[in-house]
Amino acid sequence: MNNRLVVAMLSTAALAVPAVAVADPGHGKGHEKQPEKAHGKAEGAKQVMFVFKGTFTAPGTVKVVSGNSHVRKGGFVGQAVQFDFANAKFVAADTNADQKADVTDVADGDRVLVQARVAKRTTYAEAAEAIAARKLVDKTNPPVEDDTEADAATR
């Protein structure tokens, strides 16, 4: 009976030793609470693509008829929105024959699509100033492809 007691004590001691050896008190290891790190991302609202569809009215103004979900939820539909086309890409026919597509090639009443990166959840009431457009596509006067490019594509 004495042997059984000694074996039981040794086996429980053998099981307890690895658990104690593995436990780490954490002294001097730098486990103190760290302050929040900035992961290199800019502070502020996330920028998303707003796609406005409507008719071009005055230089830089579009009467919005429809758009993607950001435009609809922001209340832009039915409003005249002012755009800044200074750095925008234009996809339109060269109607004034100046060898480049720009805002002068878009006439009043043309159906257009305007893409702009705007802060997420921006509403029409918050957009008091002109929105910087990234791209304007003239749906009424689309650009004409060069015949040599079209012939090369069919060969």
- In tens, the pLDDT along 22-44 reads 555 666 665 566 666 656 555 78
What are the extents of the domains in the chain? 47-138
Residue range 124-149: mean pLDDT, rounded = 83
pLDDT digits (tens, 9 = 90+) for 79-114: 999 999 999 999 988 888 888 888 888 889 999 999
Could you tell me if residue 113 is left (phi over 0), alpha (psi between -120 and 50 degrees) or otherwise beta? beta
pTM summary value: 0.64
What CA–CA distance (Å, rounded) separates 151 from 52? 34
Distance from the Cα of residue 36 to its chain's centroid: 24
Q: What is the pLDDT of residue 15?
A: 73
Residues ≥6 apart with Cβ < 8 Å to 87: 132, 134
Using a 10 angstrom Cβ sphere, with 0-12 exposed, 13-18 middle and 19 or more buried, the burial of residue 64 is buried
DSSP for residue 105: G
> Mind listing the pLDDT tens digit for each residue in 44-58?
889 999 999 999 998
**CATH architecture of the domain covering 47-138:** Beta Barrel (2.40)
